[in-house]
């Protein structure tokens, strides 16, 4: 059964790729459509290229669609992950500093 997974803040390359690999590691989910969205077109383009390369290299039926339009990405999604880095690098530093 094909599902649609939306990732908001997909330009977070390491987290997005790891999450995609985890999902695609489940045989029943290998035909997932990933809708990637981010406010940074450069980051979105980069993760889209990497994701498509990974899918092709592993000969999986999954597909990737990328859009800057969050509402379009969310439409008809079965699951939505918000992986946006709130607060930019300064906010990330605070996350790391908290122990």
**Which stretches does DSSP call E strand in the chain?**
4-8, 33-37, 63-67, 79-82
Q: What confidence tens digit (pLDDT) does each residue in 9-57 have?
A: 999 888 999 999 999 999 999 999 999 999 999 999 999 999 999 999 9
Q: What confidence tens digit (pLDDT) does each residue in 73-99 have?
A: 999 999 999 988 777 677 767 767 775
pLDDT at 95: 67
- Quote the distance between the C-alpha of residue 42 and its chain's center: 14
Q: Number of C-alpha atoms within 13 angstroms, CB side, residue 94?
A: 7
Q: Which fold has domain 4-97?
A: Rossmann fold (3.40.50)
């Amino acid at each position: 059964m094909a599902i649609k997974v939306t990732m908001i803040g997909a330009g977070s390359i390491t987290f997005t790729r790891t999450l995609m690999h985890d999902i695609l590691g489940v045989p029943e989910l290998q035909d997932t459509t990933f809708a990637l969205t981010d406010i940074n077109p450069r980051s979105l383009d980069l993760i889209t290229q990497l994701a498509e390369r990974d899918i092709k290299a592993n000969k999986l039926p999954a597909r990737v669609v990328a859009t800057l339009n969050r509402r379009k990405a969310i439409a008809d999604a079965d699951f939505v992950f918000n992986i946006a880095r709130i607060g930019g690098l300064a906010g990330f530093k605070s996350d790391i500093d908290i122990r």
